[in-house]
Structure 1
């Protein structure tokens, strides 16, 4: 038998809104966890229900004003209420199997962000006694009114070997209905983005920031919790909710797969920090023009520039450092360095960190992980004579 005496304390945050029946199923299932009851601290994070639910004596209920679908703010509220070193997040209609908490917490041991397996069934057809039997591990699949799991999730977990080989876009396979992570990681990331209001997106935003910060993502397929009803894609009103989610994420996640190409965004994909040094105004202009060719970029010179391009909204002397955590690429340049091949430059950084004299660039994740840099290939960058007067008209006539 497994020794349970050395398991860590865990805060379990369950979101809820006007659904006391299914919440009762979830709380029953948490009582049935194969985990020491004195180390499992359950908080119901209520998103402004008309009436607060009745809960067992050991469960706390916190509520916030009903100001729209604010799952991110509710989860943050629940997380703040505890002090346990690990956090587990469950939706109020998602019933965990008896080993769920133990398995996701064990997978967090090396500071990973962990997602369990959310399965789907018509739990309402079982009734409370049937759901309790499921939560106790007493019902096999052939006794359940099963519903299909999303194919895109199954394929994503298979392709990435349960996120062990996750790539830059694979934060999409993290869902907050069955989520766990160390409190220290949650705090370092700043929690969920409470400005997100409306269905979905807060889990992907958190997972993207975690990925960017060098945190491992992990899927635990035998840590199962059951959602009552189909996936969101099978529900009425999904298309409108998904549209809202996509637009909200486009503001926050600067990858082209999220926001497409073009536009000027407050959150840039690439941040270029530039130690300008002494150079002519035309050399400043030529260098700045080349780096702005990255498109979705913010250039941060360390001094006021003497070029009309300094008025470009993507150029700022006093940049907001909060944007660095979400930027996909970070670049440092020193002196008169011109970018000759913008697309090849980003493709090179996508492979790994690279450097040359006066230039260092990397994915934000690679930088956080301390990945060693390699030299840039010839032709991507060019050093200019900082004292030269660059003939901008002659450059403009080039084919």
Structure 2
């Protein structure tokens, strides 16, 4: 059985409801993890798991782990972020890739949809396909084993693993709270454990547009805190492009102890 696990908060409720409507036509078990403090709304046909925020914000790592625990009887786990729609072949392509590479971390291409485009039916998605150029996008049915340097390209917004591989990885590290770092940490854990990263052709996901900032100022404190945790563990700071942008804007500086704010930190909210 395939289980699809999605994190959700009030900020992405409309995105998840659109996603869940598309998922009703798929033979998958649906698990929605609600990350806000208040009680979750209903998601018809889906199992809902409630993981309230922690001290530093939403528990993205812990939420994914709880979703996987709820799907303990599934042999294939597909993680799909709140703002992502599944392409018509996403599950069949992930399943086929898992059959061929049962010990791998599987990643499909992601298309970022423009503002105002809100597909309501799966057959509307293929004409919109334009995979993000930052990562490989093999042809449908082709699976490409990534090189050691490609683990930095892992994105948690759409990926799949067999239950056995999930056990090998041990899930996401729940020391990460709020936004950023937990997905790169999982990728480096996979690399260290010898778990292959496989680019899965045809497993298309479609990211629904929502307002954001670049760099993500609302997540600055999360990025610094989680970046330091990652650096202490792996010897370098992740999310370097954002750090450079924050530094150029004068918000942070690099010291002997790592990246730090140039002013007293203020409490910022974070949402997936």
TM bin (shorter chain): 0.7 to 0.9
Using the alignment, how far apart are the partners of 1:55 and 1:256 within structure 2?
38
Residues 366-387 of structure 1, C-alpha deviation per residue, up to 9 Å, x if partnerless? xxxxxxxxxxxxxxxxxxxxxx
Using the alignment, how far apart are the partners of 1:252 and 1:90 within structure 2?
27
Match for residue 204 of structure 1 among 168, 174, 184: 184
Structure 1 unaligned segments of length 5 or more: list them: 1-8, 265-399
Which runs of structure 2 are paired with 1:1-399 in the superposition (5 Å)?
Answer: 9-18=1-10, 19-33=12-26, 37=27, 40-56=28-44, 58-67=45-54, 68-82=57-71, 83-109=73-99, 110-122=102-114, 125-127=116-118, 131-133=119-121, 136-139=122-125, 141=127, 151-153=133-135, 164-167=145-148, 169-229=149-209, 234=214, 236-237=216-217, 240=220, 241-254=222-235
Using the alignment, how far apart are the partners of 2:181 and 2:166 within structure 1?
17
With the length of structure 2 as denominator, give the TM-score of the two structures: 0.74
Change (3 A) 1:162 1:203: farther
How far 1:43 sits from its partner (Å)? 0.6
Instruction: Classify the secondary structure of the residue corresponding to 2:33.
Output: strand
Match of 2:249 in 1: none
Say if 2:109 and 2:131, in contact at 8 Å, map to a contact too. no
How far 1:216 sits from its partner (Å)? 1.1
Using the alignment, how far apart are the partners of 1:200 and 1:256 within structure 2?
11
Change (3 A) 1:232 1:210: farther
Choose between structure 1 and 2 for higher RCO, CA contacts under 8 A separated by at least 6 residues: 2
Residues 74-102 of structure 1, C-alpha deviation per residue, up to 9 Å, x if partnerless? 00001001211111101111111121112
Say if 1:16 and 1:47, in contact at 8 Å, map to a contact too. yes
Using the alignment, how far apart are the partners of 1:99 and 1:149 within structure 2?
15
Say if 1:29 and 1:97, in contact at 8 Å, map to a contact too. no
Using the alignment, how far apart are the partners of 2:29 and 2:95 within structure 1?
13
Say if 1:163 and 1:170, in contact at 8 Å, map to a contact too. no
Change (3 A) 1:257 1:86: closer
Instruction: Classify the secondary structure of the residue corresponding to 1:105.
Output: helix
Where do 4+ consecutive residues of structure 1 move more than 4 Å?
A: 148-151, 230-233, 255-259
Aligned length, in residue pairs = 235
Using the alignment, how far apart are the partners of 1:24 and 1:32 within structure 2?
14
Say if 2:59 and 2:177, in contact at 8 Å, map to a contact too. yes
Match of 2:269 in 1: none
How far 1:138 sits from its partner (Å)? 2.8
Using the alignment, how far apart are the partners of 1:235 and 1:74 within structure 2?
24
CA RMSD of aligned residues (A): 3.3
Instruction: Classify the secondary structure of the residue corresponding to 1:215.
Output: coil
Match of 2:243 in 1: none
How far 1:180 sits from its partner (Å)? 0.3
Using the alignment, how far apart are the partners of 1:112 and 1:106 within structure 2?
12
Residues 51-95 of structure 1, C-alpha deviation per residue, up to 9 Å, x if partnerless? 412211x31001022221211100000100121111110111111
Change (3 A) 1:239 1:199: closer
